[in-house]
Amino acid sequence: MKSTIMQIILLQNVEKLGQAGEIVEVSLGYARNFLIPKNLAKEATPQIIAEVEAKKQKQAKIAEADLVKTEELAKKLDGFELEVKAKASEEGTLFGSITNTKIASLLKEKGFDIKAEKIAVDHIKEVGEHEVVVNLAHGLEARIMLIVSAGEEKE
């Protein structure tokens, strides 16, 4: 008796079936008449299954290494103090504001390559200490202390 079920590997995400790279079982007709002709899937031979598993393991190792690297960056950043001078009135109100872009540029000067959009901060408009949250990959975050003092800013 012939099997009516076929193992396939999805080449693209298929709604209600799975994500690209997944190995799923479908009816023989669905695979041969729809999924394979439309390049949504291909037959999961033992060789292809081994390749997929090897690729998944490689991606897991890369993700793990990236997580370790991001955790190290978070440890270095957490509690880091960043000082900046800005023009301010005698009451301590800044004439401009310090934005996430300015903070990203200051961090870059200190050796941290953080994109401005990863820095969660409202525009800082007063002299003093301000806690700034840096959102990192893998859901990690670090809190730095921005110390704003009155004076001439360095360009």
Specify the pLDDT at position 154.
57
Report the distance separating Cα 26 and Cα 3, nearest Å.
11
- Our CA dihedral for 65, 71, 72, 75, rounded to 10 degrees, sits at 180
Specify the pLDDT at position 80.
92
pLDDT tens digits for range 60-105? 999 999 999 999 999 999 989 999 999 999 888 999 899 999 999 9
User: Model pTM?
Assistant: 0.68
For the chain, domains (ranges, CATH) are 5-68 (3.40.5.10), 73-150 (3.10.430.100)
Helix runs in the chain, H state only: 28-30, 46-77, 100-109
Specify the pLDDT at position 47.
92
Q: pLDDT under 50 in the chain at which residues?
A: 155
Specify the pLDDT at position 123.
84
Contact between 152 and 87 (Cβ < 8 Å): yes
